Structure 1
Amino acid sequence: MRTVVLLFISNIFMTFAWYAHLKNLNNRHWFIAVLVSWGIAFFEYLVQVPANRIGYHGTFSLAQLKITQEVITLAVFVPFAVLYMGVPLKLDYLWAGCCLAGAVYFIFR
C-alpha cells in the first residue's frame, strides 16, 4: 500500500511538471518552463524512486510496478486535465481505463 500511495504522490508532481507549464508559463520562454518543470520533477523523483524500490523489493514485479504506475497516471491525469486544465471530460478516458484494466488483469494474473 505504501508503494501505491507514494506513486500517487509522485504522479501528482509528475503531471504538474509535464503539463502545468502549458497553462501557467505559456507566455514565457520554453527554457523557463524547463527549469520550473525540472524543479517540480526533483520532488517527484524524491517520492517515485523510494516507491519503486519499496514495491520492487516487496510485493511487485517490475512489470506490475509499471502497469500500476500507468493506472495511477491515468487516475491522476484525468482530474488534472478536467479540473486544472479545463479540458472537457470525454468517454475516451473511460475507454483508456478499460484498456488499462485489461493490462492489470494480464500482468497480475
Structure 2
Amino acid sequence: MFYRTVLLLVCSNVFMTLAWYHHLKNENWPLWKAIILSWLIAFFEYSLAVPANRLGQQTGANLFQLKITQEVITLGVFTIYAVAFANNAFHWKYLVSFALLLGAVYFVFADIK
C-alpha cells in the first residue's frame, strides 16, 4: 500500500515544483501575482501531500521514512522540471548527490538495530 503514498507524493510534488519555480519563467510579472498564483497551485499540492502522509503513516511508515521519501521524490520531479522545462544543464555531480540521497533512503528503511 506504500505505493499509493508514493504516487500521491509524486503528484503533489509536480504541483509544488510548479508553484515554487514556474513563475520564474515570467520574471516580468509583479511579485504579488507570482505569490497569488503560487498559493493557488500550492492548494492542490497540499490536497495531495496531506492524504499521502496520512496514508503512509497508516501503512506503517514513520515520519523519518515519509520525509526522506518525499525529499527523494521532490528532487526527482525537480530534476525533470529543471532539465526538460527550465532548460538547465544536468551535471554529473548531481548524480553523485542523488546517489548519496539513495543511501539515506536505504538507511532510513533498513531494519538495523
Q: TM-score range by the shorter chain?
A: over 0.9
**TM-score, normalised relative to structure 2:** 0.92
Aligned CA-pair RMSD = 0.8
Runs of 4+ in structure 1 off by over 3 angstroms are none
Letter in 2 for 1:13: F
Q: Measure the CA separation in 2 of the matches of 1:35 and 1:98.
A: 36
Q: Measure the CA separation in 1 of the matches of 2:105 and 2:90.
A: 23
Show structure 2 runs of 5+ residues with no match: none
8 Å CA contact 1:78–1:93 kept in 2: the answer is no
Q: Measure the CA separation in 2 of the matches of 1:36 and 1:92.
A: 33
Q: Measure the CA separation in 1 of the matches of 2:83 and 2:10.
A: 18
Q: Please report how far the alpha carbon of residue 59 of structure 1 lies from its aligned counterpart in structure 2 after TM superposition.
A: 2.4
Query: Is residue 12 of structure 2 the alignment partner of residue 10 of structure 1?
Result: yes
What is the aligned length?
Answer: 108
Show structure 1 runs of 5+ residues with no match: none
Letter in 2 for 1:104: V
Aligned to 1:99: 100
Q: Please report how far the alpha carbon of residue 16 of structure 1 lies from its aligned counterpart in structure 2 after TM superposition.
A: 0.5
**TM-score, normalised relative to structure 1:** 0.96
SS at match of 1:106: helix
Q: Please report how far the alpha carbon of residue 102 of structure 1 lies from its aligned counterpart in structure 2 after TM superposition.
A: 1.1
Alignment of structure 1 residues 19-58 onto 2, 5 Å: 19-23=21-25, 25-58=26-59
8 Å CA contact 1:10–1:44 kept in 2: the answer is yes
Q: Measure the CA separation in 1 of the matches of 2:97 and 2:23.
A: 24
Query: Is residue 77 of structure 2 the alignment partner of residue 72 of structure 1?
Result: no
Q: Please report how far the alpha carbon of residue 92 of structure 1 lies from its aligned counterpart in structure 2 after TM superposition.
A: 2.4
